[in-house]
Amino acid sequence: MTLLAMAWYVLPAAVAIDLAAGDPPGLPHPVRLMGRAVERLEPVFRKFSLPPGLSGFLFALCLVGSCFLVTLALVLAASAWHPLLGVLVQLGIIYTCLSSRCLYDEALRVRNLLASGDIEKARAHVGMLVSRDVNGLDGSAVARAGVETVAENFVDGVLSPLFYAAILGAPGAAAFKMASTLDSMVGYKNERYFDFGRASARLDDLLNWIPARLSIPVIALSAGLLLSTGRQSFQTALREGKNHSSPNAGIPEAAFAGALGVKINGPGMYHGRLVEKPWIGEAFAPPRPADIEKAGDLMLIATLTGMCAVTGLHVLLVLPGFF
C-alpha cells in the first residue's frame, strides 16, 4: 500500500455519513477553520514587498500545502497510535469535505418556499447560494438559480473531494477543500482581488478540470437510472458545456440541463450590472420549482454513482493490498 492509501470502504462510509447527517449546526467544521486561516493570513501576505500576483501565489501555495501536510501528519499520527484510529480520522476528514446532504437540503428549502408562494423568502434564501442579484427575480428565475446551484456545486462539493480522496487520501480531500475555500473568498475579478486572487482562482479551475469532465458520464448514467434521460444529458453536456465563462462550471450544468430538460444559465444581474451569459439547454423550457427537487434527487444519485467510480479508482491505485 502507498503512503496515502486507505481502506477501500472509507469513501463509501464517508458518503453514507454525509447523506445521513449532513453538516449538523453548532459542530466545529474544518472548512470554517480554513476560512479563518484565509482571513488572518491574507493581510500578512499583502504586506510582502512583492507584486500582488506573486504574493497571492505564495498565499495560495502556503495555505493549500500546509493543509495537505497538517492533515497528512494527523492521519499518520493517528494510524501510528492505532490503525482503527487512523481509519476513523481519515473517515472524519473526508466526510467533512463533502456537502451533498447540505446542498440537497438548501435546494429543497428554496423549492418549498416557492411552492408555498413565499417568493420573497425564496429570493432571500437563494441569494445566500448564488452570487447574482436576486431582487426582482420571479419564480422561474429563482428556480433556475436553484437548479444551477445544485448542478455546479455537485462537482465542487462532492465529486472533486471524492476524486482527490481516492488518489491522495484524506490529505488530498482537505487540500482541495482549502483551494476551493480560497477561490470562494479571494478568487474574484474585482479591483481588490484581480491580481492577488488570480492564483487561487486558477488553482481551483485546475483542480476541478478532471472531476468536471468526469461528471459527464456520472451525471448521464444517473439521469438514465432516475429519469431515463441519460443520452440527452450526455449530448447536452458535450454540446453546451462550453457555454460558460468558467472552464468547468458549464459542464455539470449542461449535463443537469439535459437530464432535466430545462434551460439555465443565461443573462443575469451581478452587482447591479447586466451580464449577458449564453443559455445552457437553450432548446428546453425554463425550470419550474419542481425541477429544483428533481435536480436534488439527481445530485444524490450522482453522488452514489460518483462514489462507486472513485472507489473503484482507489482500489486500482492501491492493489494488491486494498483490504
Q: Which of the two residues, 185 and 320, has the higher pLDDT score?
A: 185
Distance in angstroms (rounded) separating the CA atoms of residues 67 and 181: 12
Q: Is the pLDDT score of 26 beyond 70?
A: no
pLDDT > 90: percent of the chain: 69
- Which of these, 144, 132, 138, lies nearest to 264 by C-alpha position? 144
Strands 264-265 and 279-280: antiparallel
Q: Is the pLDDT score of 178 beyond 90?
A: yes
Residues 6+ apart with CB under 8 A from 13: 91
pLDDT at 4: 64
Positive or negative CA dihedral for 9, 11, 12, 17?
Answer: positive
Domain boundaries, the chain: 10-318
Q: Is the pLDDT score of 225 beyond 50?
A: yes
All three cell numbers of 131, joined, read: 452570487
Q: Is the peptide bond before 211 cis (omega within 30 degrees of 0)?
A: no
pTM for the model: 0.93
Opening angle at CA 35, ends 86 and 66, nearest 5: 50
Predicted confidence (pLDDT) per residue in 84-132, tens digit: 999 999 999 999 999 999 999 999 999 999 988 888 888 888 877 777 7
> Within 10 A of 315 (CB to CB), how many other CB atoms are there?
15
Q: Is the pLDDT score of 322 beyond 60?
A: no
Residue 200 contacts residue 56 (beta carbons within 8 Å) = yes
Distance in angstroms (rounded) separating the CA atoms of residues 256 and 148: 8
Residue 19 contacts residue 98 (beta carbons within 8 Å) = no
Distance in angstroms (rounded) separating the CA atoms of residues 314 and 5: 8
Residues 6+ apart with CB under 8 A from 106: 125, 129, 149
Crossing angle, helix 198-227 and helix 250-260, to 10 degrees?
A: 20
Q: What are the C-alpha distances in Å from 9 to residues 5, 224, 323?
A: 12, 26, 9
Could you tell me the pLDDT band of residue 319, with boundaries at 50, 70 and 90? low
Could you tell me the pLDDT band of residue 151, with boundaries at 50, 70 and 90? very high
Q: Determine whether 2 is exposed, middle or buried from the number of CB atoms within 10 Å of its CB (0-12, 13-18, 19+).
A: exposed
Could you tell me the pLDDT band of residue 1, with boundaries at 50, 70 and 90? very low
Please give the sequence-ordered ranges of beta strands (E in DSSP) within 112-267, or none if there are none. Answer: 264-265
Predicted confidence (pLDDT) per residue in 256-281, tens digit: 999 999 999 888 777 667 777 889 99
Predicted confidence (pLDDT) per residue in 43-76, tens digit: 999 988 899 999 999 999 999 999 999 999 999 9
Residues 6+ apart with CB under 8 A from 23: 29, 99, 101, 102
Distance in angstroms (rounded) separating the CA atoms of residues 64 and 177: 9
Distance in angstroms (rounded) separating the CA atoms of residues 188 and 185: 8
Residue 125 contacts residue 110 (beta carbons within 8 Å) = yes
Positive or negative CA dihedral for 295, 301, 302, 304?
Answer: positive
Residues 6+ apart with CB under 8 A from 297: 226
